[in-house]
Structure 1
């Protein structure tokens, strides 16, 4: 794969992860800071195999983050339609 295509893939992955990090549920985790440090650490890679491995790891992080967001949405919807046991006990007391 040519260096320009690899560079474009890395930049696109960085942008996607940066956008995903804006809505990360735990602000104390510093998703964007960790992501930036990860990219800076791998900046000097020259072996195509190592570069591909780093890209695959970044894509894995992206997919896991998307799964986390989907789970968060599902849990929110579940709370909206199915009250928790604590809410059930307080409904009739008002």
Structure 2
């Protein structure tokens, strides 16, 4: 379970580079969220935290693809 947490942390940090407000905004909030849950010992609570991390990853990916779509549309579709 510890390795899952570390992997989620690394993936979220990597995805945070493309966060609309930037890594400087995202990184302290990510650290704060993980620090707030550092004391969890109940396996069910840890699982819920990992599920929430997966949800956040999917949301950041969606923001990335939306940003990419809008950029390409501006570039190739006139008057968009």
* TM-score between both structures, scaled by the size of structure 1: 0.79
Give the structure 2 partner of residue 24 of structure 1.
19
Q: Could you report, residue by residue, the CA deviation over 1:13-56 in whole angstroms, capped at 9, with x for unpaired residues?
A: 00000111122221398111111100000000000000000000
Distance in 1 (alpha carbons) for counterparts of 2:7 and 2:58: 14
Distance 1:8 1:76, change over 3 A: same
Greater relative contact order: 1 or 2 (C-alpha under 8 angstroms, separation 6 or more)? 2
Structure 1 residues without counterparts, runs of 5 or longer: 1-5, 86-94
Q: CA RMSD in A?
A: 1.7
Matched, 1:84 2:75: no
Matched, 1:68 2:75: no
Structure 1 segments (4+ residues) deviating >6 Å: none
* TM-score between both structures, scaled by the size of structure 2: 0.91
Count of aligned pairs between the two proteins? 80
Which structure: larger Rg? 1
Q: How far apart are 1:10 and its partner, in Å?
A: 0.3
